Amino acid sequence: MQDEFRNESFTDFSREENARAMREAIERVKSELGREYPLVIGGERITTGKTFDSLNPAKKTEVVGRFQKATEELARAAVEKANETFRSWRNTSPRQRADLLFRVAGLMRERRHYLSAWMVQEVAKTWAEADGDTAEAIDFCDFYAREMLRYASAQPLTKIEGEDNRLTYIPLGVGVVIPPWNFPLAIMAGMTVASVVTGNTVVLKPSSDAPAIAYKFFELLEEAGMPPGVVNFMTGSGAEVGDVVVDHPLTRYVAFTGSKEIGLRINERAAKVHKGQIWIKRVVAEMGGKDAIIVDADTDLDEAATGVVQSAFGFQGQKCSACSRAIIHTDVYEPMLERIVERTQKLKLGDPADPTTSLSAVINNKAFKTISDYVEKGKADGGRVVAGGGSDGEQGYFIEPTVIADVKPGDRIEQEEIFGPVLAVIRARDFDDALRIANDTEYGLTGAVYTNDHAKLERASREFHAGNLYLNRKCTGALVGVHPFGGFNMSGTDSKAGGRDYLGLFMQAKVVSEKIRPGYSDKEKRGAI
């Protein structure tokens, strides 16, 4: 019997042996920078002669890795190879597929700091953020392996006399997995292994900002014994080859995490039926948020300020769960603002390889310009910059953690997803007003409420429209199995990654009903089946 799932613990880098191991891992990764990586279709390594570079956001001229630009022909070939492999992979036992994930989790534990170090270099995660990402990837493998065994067990049905009825879950087919760059190991691995363990085959198209860590994970899958063609590794332009794999008539579903705009585009394209397609494609999408933390007058302001700052500026605010709006009761607005500013000014912006760094560079030049423009928009709309506001793009894409006070409901920085280290602070007349402001966006991913009034917490539980609502704690840091994650409205399909219903999105239920003939024993029946 499988032991009970437990979340992977985080690394304590205050212990010298752990810090030393991380430093060594970073040096090892630095020695491997700049290598060229292939596409992998059906186990075959392919180069195209046309490449693009993955760059270190904190050292924007440093090449992390060189990757192939796939062609439309190769994109179609990847789907077709995945479809061919599906014919055999779907018939492997759930136990075999679960064991593959357990082996992958074991390999990740052995190389934990090495994997984290790749994220330090490729997406500028701090030590703690990278370590948390790796821990979550391990959790996804362990959790989904156990979940597959649960789904594969006998499912409860109402009994009737004279029939034997069974409900089983079977895989869908070829899945296209399009993960984001902000959790380049955890979310990428989670969507991929959820597909594989349920018996599907995959075309994995990682973000062009984070292909190196995806390739390192793909190598672990191979090392763990994954057959060729179960996962096919493809890099290149989303507009050029992403559309091809989404549109392909053999594609059965698309699992996507990223921006609202791209998610809606995928959903629209997937809805069109192409020649030869005999199913409605399924889309599993997580598309971002405009998350708010409400701070009531009756609460511990120090605790609330710490939660707001941690939620707003962890990984440079580049989390769909990040707090981008602090909605504060008017009676405590100024003292709360002072506490937020004080904590923000203590954050250290710098090199992610330095263990003392609190936050580092944003992902690329496009993000750098967009986030900087939003700071200017906030000021133009009457906001008051009370912390940060500066930027430096000379060496890397560095933007100071920025707090903009006196933002009005409906302002652009209060409504639009910024995806960077910018916090809008809004004054609310009372708790009713705070809830109204919090809900008045097109998103509904995460949120939090700080108050000592239990009735208000109960009311927020009913009325705060978010897929993940946290009471008297920060709005980031969802744990696999503990906080199943997914949002409402334009935040996506509420897929609840890391939850007990998630694998059901990658399967379909089949019922087999057999009439029991008189004198036909259970033993004979089982033998016939």
List the structure tokens of 327: 């909605």
Q: Which residues, 6 or more positions from 160, have their beta carbon under 8 angstroms from its beta carbon?
A: none
d(CA 355, CA 316): 15
Tokens of 510: 């089949």
Report DSSP state, residue 161.
Answer: T
Q: What are phi and psi of 334, to 5 degrees?
A: -70, -50
Best CA proximity match to 259, nearest among 490, 46, 448, 509: 490
Contact 213, 181 (CB under 8 A): no
DSSP 8-state class, residue 285 = E
Selecting among 122, 136, 147, 286, the annotated active-site residue is 286
286 is catalytic: yes
Residue 59: beta bridge partners? 56
Say how far apart CA 372 and CA 395 lie, in whole Å.
Answer: 16
Give dist(CA 114, CA 140) in Å, integer.
18
Is 136 a residue of the active site?
no
Tell me the C-alpha distance between 457 and 471, whole Å: 7
Q: Which residue has the tokens 């292994």?
A: 193
* Amino acid symbol at 39: L
Radius of gyration of the chain, Cα coordinates, nearest whole angstrom: 24
Rounded Cα–Cα distance for residues 527 and 457 (Å)? 56
List 8, 122, 147, 320, catalytic entry: 320
CB-CB neighbours of 501 under 10 Å: 12
Q: Which residues have a Cβ under 8 Å from the Cβ of 289 and sit 6 or more positions away?
A: 320, 321, 322, 417, 443, 444, 445, 446, 487, 491
Would you say 415 and 380 are in contact if contact means Cβ atoms under 8 Å apart? no
CA 382 to chain centre: 34
Residues designated as active site: 286, 320
